[in-house]
Structure 1
Amino acid sequence: MNRDPVASTNIVSLGYDDPSETLEVEFSSGSVYQYYNVPPSIWTELFAAPSKGQFLNAYIKNAYPFSRVG
């Protein structure tokens, strides 16, 4: 999945796959996680959020299934 770099203290890049509604997050630690069944509207809000880390913690981390992929 292609990811775009973002300005964040703990997130390096974000990617999203529309057909599978999969969000991919690369953290500054080097870990990569995929979050599943994330609606396009949430992806759009995350990418536009002034604090991507806060948005991820508030609306995605405990709301969608995920797995570590890297």
Structure 2
Amino acid sequence: MIPVSSSDLQAVGYDSLTRRLVIQFTERTYEYSDVPESIYKGLMNSSSKGKYHHEYIKNSYPNLRIG
């Protein structure tokens, strides 16, 4: 997990072998499945990680609350 500068997200992790993206928010953590590495890189390079998550990840990939 890599800490990020964001008002919504606290940390992000990605496994390129399994294509699993983990996003830690203030009070919850989600794991997203089958996420292309380009989406992960886009998130990490975005100036607004919360907006990027909402627009490109939140409703686009299967997810499971893990914490």
Q: 1:44 offset after TM fit, Å?
A: 0.4
- Computed over aligned residues only, the root mean square deviation of the Cα atoms, in angstroms, reads 0.5
Q: Which amino acid aligns with 2:21?
A: L
What does residue range 1-70 of structure 1 map to in structure 2 within 5 Å? 3-29=1-27, 31-70=28-67
Q: Distance in 1 between matches of 2:26 and 2:59?
A: 20
TM value normalised by structure 1: 0.93
Determine what percentage of the aligned residue pairs are the same residue: 39
- In the superposition, the TM-score normalised over structure 2's length comes to 0.97
Aligned length: 67
Deviation of 1:49 (Å): 0.3
The structure 1 segments of at least 4 consecutive aligned residues displaced by more than 3 Å after TM superposition are none
Structure 1 unaligned regions, length at least 5: none
